[in-house]
Amino acid sequence: MRRTILCAAAVAAFAFHAWAQDHATEGEGAGAETPAAAPEDGGPRRWQVTADGAIRMHDAPDGDAPVIMTLAGGTILNNLGCARAGKHVWCNVQPLRGRARGYVLAGSLHPARGPDGTVPMGSDDSLPRARKGDFDASGRIPCAQVRGEPMGECRLDVARGDGGDATVVVTFSNGFKRMLFFIHGEFVRADTTMSGSGFDTDWRLEDGLHIIRVDDQRYELADAVIFGG
């Protein structure tokens, strides 16, 4: 596993360098921009907004298209693919926790470095690995299944990706299972079950402990679950 992670980091570093070389001439004009690949084609998994001020996310790859929202400098966005539209390259993006999708100019973005120091390239494989039962670690965490119930213990299995991505499978004592999805070291949502859609959530990180509510369920897990160590 360690060798796999090191190889992945080396590939990411090479891909990041290649992306930087391709985009080194962006400042010379929009015509020099090269569309970056989507993650499924080996491109950056996420972008970071590099502009000093806020940028606009449009509902179409056009500066005159309606604005969905503004994004502050430093915002992390999921990469849904980039393409040239007219004189500019636009990237289809989505905030980590938002369901809204939209387009921003590629020149305002840079491949995002994860909390673990890597620049994740390509699709995250933690979910398909978790579905196959291919986990990196197991343990037990505090949990509660219904509102008002005292915290008990649940089994935890985790499949880790790079860049702070992970899929955590929590199993309650009655056999009920819930998948918790982490992106860029942050909890973003859970899978859909009979108890809810997985988007009715609260999350905060306190002294390295993820405190999570999904529907009526509660979970507490250490940052080391996501990153290892």
Which of 85, 111, 137 is at the close of a domain?
111
Task: Please determine, for residue 203, whether its predicted confidence score (pLDDT) is greater than 50.
Answer: yes
* In a shared domain, residues 177 and 219: yes
Split at pLDDT 50, 70, 90, the class of 53 is confident
What's the pLDDT at 11?
A: 42
Q: In which residue are the tokens 């670690």 written?
A: 137
pLDDT over 70 percentage in the chain:
86
Task: Please determine, for residue 64, whether its predicted confidence score (pLDDT) is greater than 60.
Answer: yes
pLDDT over 90 percentage in the chain:
78
CA distance 124 to 45: 8
Phi first, then psi: what are they for 41, rounded to 5°?
-105, 15
* In a shared domain, residues 134 and 197: yes
CA distance 227 to 168: 12
208-215 — which CB contacts under 8 Å span 24+ positions? 212/180, 212/187, 214/178, 214/180, 214/190
Task: Please determine, for residue 99, whether its predicted confidence score (pLDDT) is greater than 60.
Answer: yes
The answer to whether position 121 is within a domain reads no
The answer to whether position 116 is within a domain reads no
What's the pLDDT at 27?
A: 36
The tally of domains found in the chain comes to 2
- Pair of tokens at residue 25: 């001439």
* In a shared domain, residues 90 and 8: yes
pLDDT in tens, 135-148: 999 999 999 999 99
* In a shared domain, residues 32 and 85: yes
The answer to whether position 15 is within a domain reads yes
Split at pLDDT 50, 70, 90, the class of 195 is confident
Task: Give 40's contacts (C-beta < 8 A, 6+ positions apart).
Answer: 122, 123
Which of 76, 111, 146 is at the close of a domain?
111
Task: Please determine, for residue 12, whether its predicted confidence score (pLDDT) is greater than 80.
Answer: no
Q: In which residue are the tokens 């796999």 written?
A: 4
The answer to whether position 118 is within a domain reads no
CA distance 75 to 96: 9
Task: Please determine, for residue 222, whether its predicted confidence score (pLDDT) is greater than 80.
Answer: yes
What's the pLDDT at 33?
A: 63
* In a shared domain, residues 28 and 57: yes
* In a shared domain, residues 6 and 106: yes
- Mean pLDDT, residues 150-175 taken together: 97
* In a shared domain, residues 130 and 83: no
Q: In which residue are the tokens 């369920």 written?
A: 217
The answer to whether position 174 is within a domain reads yes
- Mean pLDDT, residues 157-182 taken together: 97
The answer to whether position 217 is within a domain reads yes
Mean pLDDT, all residues of the chain: 87
* In a shared domain, residues 97 and 183: no
Per the structure, the complete domain to which residue 43 belongs is given by 2-111
What's the pLDDT at 20?
A: 43
- Answer with the residue of higher pLDDT: 9 or 202: 202
The answer to whether position 98 is within a domain reads yes
* In a shared domain, residues 131 and 78: no
* In a shared domain, residues 101 and 130: no
* In a shared domain, residues 163 and 99: no
Which of 111, 137, 160 is at the close of a domain?
111
The answer to whether position 117 is within a domain reads no
- Mean pLDDT, residues 42-67 taken together: 94
- Mean pLDDT, residues 77-102 taken together: 94
* pTM of the predicted model as reported, rounded to 2 decimal places: 0.84
Task: Determine the 3-state secondary structure of 83 from DSSP.
Answer: strand
pLDDT in tens, 18-52: 444 444 333 333 334 678 899 999 999 999 999 78
Residue 217: which H helix or E strand, with range?
strand 217-222
* In a shared domain, residues 96 and 157: no
- Mean pLDDT, residues 55-84 taken together: 96
- Mean pLDDT, residues 194-214 taken together: 93
What CATH number corresponds to the domain at position 77?
2.30.30.40
